[in-house]
Amino acid sequence: MTYDAVVVGAGFAGMYMLHRLRGLGMSVRAYETGAGVGGTWYWNRYPGARCDVESLQYSYSFSDELQREWEWSERYPSQPEILLYAEHVADRFDLRRDIQFETRVTRAAYDETANLWRVETDRGDRVAARYLITAVGCLSASRVPGFPGAASFPGPSYHTGRWPHEGVDFTGRRVAVIGTGSSGIQAIPVIAAQAAHVTVFQRTPNYSLPAHNRPMEPEYQGWFKAGHAGLRTTMRESAAGILSDPNPDSALEASEEERARVFESRWAKGGVSFMASFGDIAVNPEANEIAAEFVRGKIREIVTDPEVAELLSPRNHPIGSKRICVDTGYYATYNRPDVTLVDVRRAPIEEITPTGVRTADAEYPADVIVYATGYDALTGPLLAMDLTGKGGLSLRRKWAAGPRTYLGLMTAGFPNLFTITGPGSPSVLSNMIVSIEQHVDWITGCLGWLRDGQVATIDADPLAEDAWVEHVNEVAGYTLFPRADSWYLGANIPGKPRVFMPYAGGVGAYRVLCDQVAADGYRGFVLSA
């Protein structure tokens, strides 16, 4: 079977891409590993899973009707509600008939003679497509560190990103949670409320901001919907794709009273807009330290045991240089008598035993282990497919020293392969829905243009790619991101090249660049008839 396009993944990116390709009149097959739509929200069913972008902003903007008819029930959407939304979108736009579920794309090779991508799946499908479009997500390749002895543990163990659909009952159980990133920080308070005892194994304390989640106010929802056209434009033109009301002032120049006033009001408001308190927090180490110390002060206020408070206080990286977390009752959870915090930076985990977790200086009993240990981010899901471009070049080989793309949309030598929110684009530094829609719209425009001009192939020009990779690095160098050992840099995966993968130039500026490239006849791309 030959399609105009194969889309890999049916999360928010794959669903919207499918919808737009249909609009071009193309034949499309989408493959999805899960049994349903939703991508990250299909898999991440751990207790407390919630998006930390406000629900009204974490929703598609492409359809006025969809926007009008869907009602969000809370300020921040829970995983079940986001999944319901994804399912509603699939139904409303009749997407399922072109999606093959429970099917993983294992291999795709570019056939230069036929100018087709030859795609293989784990279900034995062998299809061809003019265009191959990956919508595989940035955080879908879950990772469990290879602790010695893990197989000897007789009880259940779960990764947050592969949570059982039927849920987990922790009542009466002793639970070990390994990892204190966004997933762990959301899950720990909810697990602690149910379990007999929770032991948290923390290697790096993270900065976390209160969500102050609450039921959606009908007036707020009405206000957003009434003004959605303008608000969406503001989001698209912003740095992170959200309404954050950025304060351009310098934290260094503000008086102590002014800083306290601004920080307190953002803290009370809740959510990530704290990071927009002052214009220099993300770029100036001293300004950053002022914001970081404010958060540490909050930790000391909330956590009653000063030693535990200090252990929870991040000191080895600037605030925001690792993904900022948003929580509900995270720090206060450590005031519970049935929660223990273990510092595995000082005494690392040495092995999992049949009765629990053993660190360099003690053994901690557990009946259940929760791995909140993260992902092989951005490149992991792409490299998990065996992708081969021109001349038999594999993507794994091409990216051996780190990902190389032009605009995060294409990689030279892989014609007609588009990577939605690929490395080198703002992706994970932004509201993903805004970045997804921007990429899908750009790709749709590009494919329509190629068709109208009877252009058979498009590929990134290696020189344009080199310049873009350099630009991505240069922009990252202006920020404090490279100062943390984060998954943005691949630092969480042993042996992964240390390269800052997303584009830190902001979604607004990036959109302008992409639009200019298109307006200039796809400058930096090689086209052939």
Binding interface with ligand N01 (CB under 6 A): 50-52, 139, 145, 160, 178-184, 186, 201, 203-204, 323, 326, 344, 349, 372-375, 428, 487, 492
Nearer to ligand N01, 102 or 363 (CB): 363
Q: How many CA atoms lie within 13 A of 206 on its CB side?
A: 25
Nearer to ligand N01, 98 or 343 (CB): 343
Nearest approach, Cβ of residue 146 and ligand N01 (Å): 9
User: Is the Cβ of residue 26 or residue 326 nearer to ligand N01 in the bound state?
Assistant: 326
CB of 309 to ligand N01, least distance (A): 18
Dist CA 271 CA 53 (whole Å): 8
Q: What is d(CA 494, CA 502) in angstroms, rounded to the nearest whole number?
A: 19
Structure tokens at 299: 């930790």
* Min dist. Cβ of residue 399 to ligand N01 (A): 20
Residue 8 to residue 1: CA distance in whole angstroms: 16
Strand partners, 327: 210
Q: Output 487 or 525, the one with its CB closest to ligand N01.
A: 487
d(Cα 136, Cα 96) in Å, to the nearest integer? 17
Distances 235 to 219, 226, 455 between C-alpha atoms, Å:
20, 15, 33
Shortest distance (Å) from residue 36 CB to ligand N01? 19
Q: For the CB of residue 260, give the shortest distance to ligand N01 in the complex, in Å.
A: 27
Cβ closer to ligand N01: 329 or 524? 329
| Longest Cα–Cα distance in the chain | 70
Of residues 145 and 356, the one with the C-beta less far from ligand N01: 145
CA 52, 316, 332, 182: dihedral to nearest 10 degrees?
Answer: 30
How far is the C-alpha of 52 from the C-alpha of 378, rounded, in Å?
A: 19
Minimum distance, C-beta of residue 24 to ligand N01, in the bound complex (Å): 31
From CA 385, how far away is CA 233, in angstroms rounded?
35
DSSP string, 54-106: -TTTSS--S-HHHHHH---SBSS-BHHHHHHHHHHHHHHTT-GGGEE-S--EE
Residues linked to residue 132 through DSSP beta bridges, in sequence order: 6, 417
Minimal distance in Å, beta carbon 216 to ligand N01?
Answer: 17
Shortest Cβ 203–ligand N01 spacing (Å): 3
Residue 387 or 429 having the CB closest to ligand N01: 429
SS (H, E, C) 224-257: HHHCHHHHHHHHHHCCCCCCCCCCCCCCCCCCHH
Indicate the residue among 324 and 409 with the shorter CB distance to ligand N01: 324
What φ, ψ does residue 200 adopt, rounded to 5°? Answer: -100, 125
Instruction: State in angstroms the smallest separation of the CB of 211 from ligand N01.
Output: 8
Residue nearest ligand N01, CB atom distance: 181
CB nearer to ligand N01: pick between 36 and 77: 77
